[in-house]
Structure 1
Amino acid sequence: MTSPISRNDSPTLPFSLDADDVPLSRDVDAGWAHTHPPTRARDNSVETAPRAAFSVQVSRRPSHEVRTAQRGEGAGKLAHDFVNIPLGSSRTLAKDSASLGTIERAITTARDIATSPRRPSNPATVAPPFGTPERTSTTARDIATAPRGPSILATDSASLRTPERTIPLRGDALVSANAVLPIPVQPTTTNGWGSSSWPPVSPPLANARFTGLPQLADVASGQQVLGSGSRGDGPRAVQTALLKMGFALHGGADGQFGPQTVRALRNFQVHARRDFPSVKPTGVLDAVTLRALDALAPEPGMRGQSRGTPPALYDGQPVRIVVALREHRTFLYDAEGRLLDIFPNASGTSATPTRAGLKVIRARLDQAAAEAAGARLWNDRHVFGTRILDLSWADGRHSAEELHGTNAPALLGADVSHGCIRHSNEAIIVLHDALSAGDRVAIVEHVDDPHLGGTRVPVS
């Protein structure tokens, strides 16, 4: 419908003016198109083209909002700042009858916006002009017919077509109550342009220690990590595996992820980096750490480690003990080089470090001798625990270091000693009983020490 026009050819506004409304001059933005309607040639005759729609702006002083009133044949209320049909394009619109449908759709949108409640505290927020009606229609048509799927995301200048109207999605523009908005989808790994695939499914855990536990299944799939404060069957299974592998965990497997578990897991991560380079010594159970633990931990009912243990050779010489300082574990072998057991240890601090190299057991002290040495040297008869294995360098020099027990088992798994290598009292008894004077002990920083291994050579 057309806007009312008065007898003196001045526009009649579709809403009443009040004291704050000031009509702008009718000459503003009207230009030549208003005073000289364009003509078109048809059948060798000249006829006047339909009058193009133009806007008369009305400004409101307090809020600076913009209203528009339309004049012209076939025009309704058109929001100038929303669609902004240039007056200079009226000749092209007149030639193309399809453009009238474009204008009608734009007018429908403009009418909805013009009649919506205004917010008194803020200026009216509308989308910036899209350009010509053809561009506005093309944008709406392209988006309405675009394929829907996870690879299509709404942009800030997109519009959606509903059965009633075209809806702008920008800033504070209005959105229809019955509009169906696109749901943003996180992009996944693509297998080509415009296609996507589900993330790869992580394989199940293989070790029976860890199967059937939802917490660990989530960790293995990368959905969560377990760290300080976690509790449940998942942490308990991990703690049990670490204990069976010889890592220090004072207090046992209680299912609570505390400082002792963090320390034990960090020591394992230091060890696992040789075969699993992506593992980081964080003390947190993430997917890569759990995969490494799943591969290296023994099956239920067994102790030790399935693979990744150091060889019982140091520069080709057979050894009965390998002490890995950075992961705080002691590996015990029989005379044939077969692994017998693994025990947690504590080593020297940075100020009094345990020195790496090949050493030899010089003497074996029982509990009475160990207590006497503790009382004499430290005024504490329990400081060395229940046994002492005194060490020297392989060339016979005294090293002033020993393998011994402890009266502070909670400190195992850390760098806390004056250079000696501490063990639990139960572990040092096993070591004392299994070893003899003259047996060799390899002390290394890591199990991948280059001195470990080599061609076996006879030992005098």
Structure 2
Amino acid sequence: MSTTPAGSTPLRNDRFAAEPELAQVLAGRATLGRNARGPGAQAVQQALIDMGFSLHGGADGAFGPQSLKAVLNFQVHARSAFADVQATGVVDAATLRALDTLAPLPKQRGQVKNLPVPRYDGTPLRVLVVKNEHRTFLFDAQGGLQGIFGNAVGARVTPTDLGLKKVNAKLGAAEARDLGLKLWGGLVYGPCIIDLSWADGSRSGEELHGTNAPTRLGEDVSHGCIRHDNAAILVLYEAVKVGDRVAVVDSVQDARLGVPAPSPRVA
């Protein structure tokens, strides 16, 4: 028997289609916010994680502050393609329709539509940092998507600078440890550091690195560097080489990237 309320367009993604509580959200009869629990909440959490939104603690089926933050970051992204999505941190019908369209199929990672173009003013990118949704995109040499990872970027008083940069150096575990102890008195950089300069070679003062504060991923909290989960920074570290281009933008709608692939209209 169908779990879709009468008059509602059914959820198409198998992640969500069999969850009765999500059918109620789709019909406008319920929302998923703070303290929501159950398999529907867990399905949403896992989709957000698989799309690269930071959600410390994983998909446990219980909506707390980390889940609300991940939903909010998704909503900021989704608004670029779905005008009815509001950035509230609560999963309502509009948010669920956008998630149903953009999330990959079960047991897959990435994103189906509305991906940023991997070029900045025509220059091919290996890495793109999108500040307002707190995600870092990794592309291969042909522009194919290799991965999406949650990040934390600069606080309002110490913002991460926008623009085109390049990988200046790669610092391994020993160097990351020593630098963290020297500058901050602790192991703040995680297992490695990707040092960035501006595209012209001048010093940017910013790096991609790991973190000892994973609960703050998904926020504007750093001194300008771009923090990642320690597992994610290892993937980035292995993938990039010195000289690879890295761009930082406010949103996927940045005109220097070009227009993201449009999402289909959802009834």
State the TM-score, normalizing by the size of structure 2: 0.94
Distance 2:212 2:138 in 1: 22
Alpha-carbon distance between aligned partners in 2 of 1:407 and 1:418, rounded to the nearest angstrom:
14
Please state if 1:294 is matched with 2:95: no
Instruction: Give the deviation of 1:423 after TM superposition.
Output: 0.3
Q: Aligned partners of 2:229 and 2:31: how far apart in 1?
A: 31
2:209 matches 1:401: no
- Letter in structure 2 aligned against 1:281: A
1:212-251 alignment runs, 5 A limit: 212-251=18-57
- The one-letter amino acid paired with 2:250 is E
Partner of 2:224: 419
Q: 1:445 aligns with which of 247, 250, 257?
A: 250
- Structure 2 residue corresponding to 1:207, chosen from 1, 5, 13: 13
Partner of 1:318: 124
Alignment equivalent of 1:348, drawn from 135, 154, 157: 154
Partner deviation per Cα, 1:317-365 (whole Å, 9 max, x = no partner):
0000010001000000000000001000000100101011000110000
In 1, distance between residues paired with 2:205 and 2:6? Answer: 55
Alignment of 1:385-396 (within 5 A): 385-396=190-201
Secondary structure, counterpart of 1:307 in structure 2 = coil
Q: Which structure is richer in relative contact order (CA contacts within 8 A, separation 6 or more)?
A: 2
Percent sequence identity is 57
2:233 matched to which residue of 1? Answer: 428
Q: Which has the larger Rg?
A: 1
SS of equivalent residue, structure 1 residue 298: coil
Match of 1:363 in 2: 169
Q: 1:3-402 alignment to 2 at 5 Å?
A: 201-380=7-186, 382-402=187-207
Letter in 2 for 1:314: Y
Which sections of structure 2, spanning at least 5 residues, go unmatched?
A: 260-267
1:430 and 1:212 map into 2 onto residues whose CA distance is: 34
- Deviations 1:366-389 (Å, cap 9, x if unpaired)? 111100111111111x11110100
Instruction: Report the count of equivalent residues.
Output: 255
Alpha-carbon separation, structure 2, partners of 1:290 and 1:279 = 9
> Given residue 214 of structure 1, which amino acid in structure 2 is its aligned partner?
P
Note the C-alpha offset of 1:424. 0.8
Indicate the SS of the match to 2:43. helix
CA drift of 1:200 comes to 7.8
Aligned partner of 1:178 in structure 2 is: none
Structure 2 letter corresponding to 1:356: L
Cα distance in 2 for residues equivalent to 1:312 and 1:446: 13
Q: Which whole-Å CA distance do the structure 1 matches of 2:6 and 2:108 have between them?
A: 33
TM-score, normalization by structure 1? 0.55
Letter in 1 for 2:62: Q
Q: Deviations over 1:361-418 (max 9, x none)?
A: 10000111100111111111x1111010000111111010000000111110011100
Equivalent residue number for residue 263 of structure 2: none
* Deviation sequence 1:228-279 (CA, Å, 0-9, x none): 0111111100000000000000000011111000000000000000110110
Output the CA distance in 2 between the equivalents of 1:294 and 1:233.
Answer: 16
Supply the distance in 1 between the matched residues of 2:229 and 2:43 (Cα, whole angstroms).
22
Distance 2:11 2:158 in 1: 42
Deviation at 1:453, TM superposition (A): 3.2
- The match for 2:264 is none
Task: Please give the per-residue CA displacement for 1:186-218, whole angstroms capped at 9, x wherever unaligned.
Answer: xxxxxxxxxxxxx98111000000011111000
Question: Which runs of structure 1 show a deviation greater than 3 angstroms over 4 or more consecutive aligned residues?
Answer: none
Deviations 1:57-113 (A, max 9, x none): xxxxxxxxxxxxxxxxxxxxxxxxxxxxxxxxxxxxxxxxxxxxxxxxxxxxxxxxx
Whole-angstrom CA distance in 2 between matches of 1:275 and 1:387: 35
Give the letter aligned to residue 145 of structure 2: L
Distance 1:396 1:306 in 2: 35
Whole-Å separation in 1 of the counterparts to 2:214 and 2:32: 25
| Helix, strand or coil at the partner of 2:37 | coil
Secondary structure of 1:346's counterpart equals strand
Q: Find the aligned partners of 1:323 and 1:372 in 2 and give their Cα distance.
A: 26
Q: Deviations over 1:23-47 (max 9, x none)?
A: xxxxxxxxxxxxxxxxxxxxxxxxx
The residue identity in structure 2 corresponding to 1:239 is: Q
CA distance in 2, matches of 1:201, 1:269: 25
Question: C-alpha distance in 1, partners of 2:32/2:59?
Answer: 15
